[in-house]
A and B are shown apart, each in its own frame.
Chain A
Amino acid sequence: NAGVTQTPKFQVLKTGQSMTLQCAQDMNHNSMYWYRQDPGMGLRLIYYSASEGTTDKGEVPNGYNVSRLNKREFSLRLESAAPSQTSVYFCASTHEAGFNSPLHFGNGTRLTVT
């Protein structure tokens, strides 16, 4: 049982390049989230999808787009990477948004933008 799987684990981009971070969960969860973790900032919500077919902005959505491809997969796209997007990105899922069920996190993607 893999839980939440994120690919790639590491990525280095040059400023202006684009890439997509992939996330998949096998727990039949309805809700999925993307967070970024920066030193001294904790984890901050970028986008979330409360259910298949819906997406909403979180606290720091600028520079990102998301796609809820199906119930299992939720991808995060950087169209034109900037050094300020250097961070560790975590995908998470939960059974049902709004019912106080804990989030299950993947192991993260460490992204460096030069």
Chain B
Amino acid sequence: DQQVKQNSPSLSVQEGRISILNCDYTNSMFDYFLWYKKYPAEGPTFLISISSIKDKNEDGRFTVFLNKSAKHLSLHIVPSQPGDSAVYFCAASVAGTASKLTFGTGTRLQVTL
């Protein structure tokens, strides 16, 4: 049972436009959500996170939105740059569970010139 779902395996966006990556979850106990970025042949790197007590967190060009009632979060990248081309993983954890993350299957973002 996939508790964290990223239903779009891939996304192509033009440079300068907005990229929106989506993530849905089923476990209502999740209370902390993260996005990781992964380049080929490298490990995932932390991008941005959000606690369930918030509905938005912003860091430069990256903003994460959380809709708890819909069990949905999204990552917005504005403006998109070619260096943003990577696989993006959504992840979630339950408080007090030793930082054990449940990951989605990833969305491959390609930013074209």
By a beta-carbon cutoff of 8 Å, the part of chain A in contact with chain B is 4, 31, 33, 35, 40-45, 48, 50, 56, 58, 90, 92, 94, 97-108
Tell me the complex Cα distance, A92–B44, Å.
Answer: 9
Interface contacts (Cβ under 8 Å), in number, total 64
**What is the chain A residue whose CB lies nearest that of B5?**
A42
Q: Could you give 14 example pairs across A and B, Cβ below 8 Å? A: A42-B104, A42-B106, A43-B89, A90-B44, A92-B43, A100-B32, A100-B49, A100-B51, A100-B99, A101-B99, A103-B44, A107-B41, A108-B41, A108-B43
Q: Which of B17-76 contact A (CB under 8 A)?
A: 32, 34, 36, 41-46, 49, 51
Q: B46–A98 contact, CB under 8 A?
A: no
Flag if B103 contacts A48 (CB, 8 Å).
no
Please tell me the number of chain B residues within 8 Å of chain A, measured between CB atoms. Answer: 26
* A42-B89, A100-B32, A102-B34 as given contacts; A4 in contact with B43, CB under 8 Å: yes
Residue of B nearest to A108 (CB): B43
User: Is A90's CB under 8 angstroms from B99's CB?
Assistant: no
Assuming A42-B89, A99-B99, what are 12 further A-B pairs, CB within 8 angstroms?
A4-B43, A35-B103, A43-B89, A43-B103, A45-B100, A45-B101, A98-B96, A98-B99, A100-B99, A103-B99, A104-B46, A108-B43
Q: Are B100 and A100 in contact (CB-based, < 8 A)?
A: no
Closest B residue, CB atoms, query A100: B32
- In whole Å, how far is A51's beta carbon from the nearest beta carbon of chain B? 9
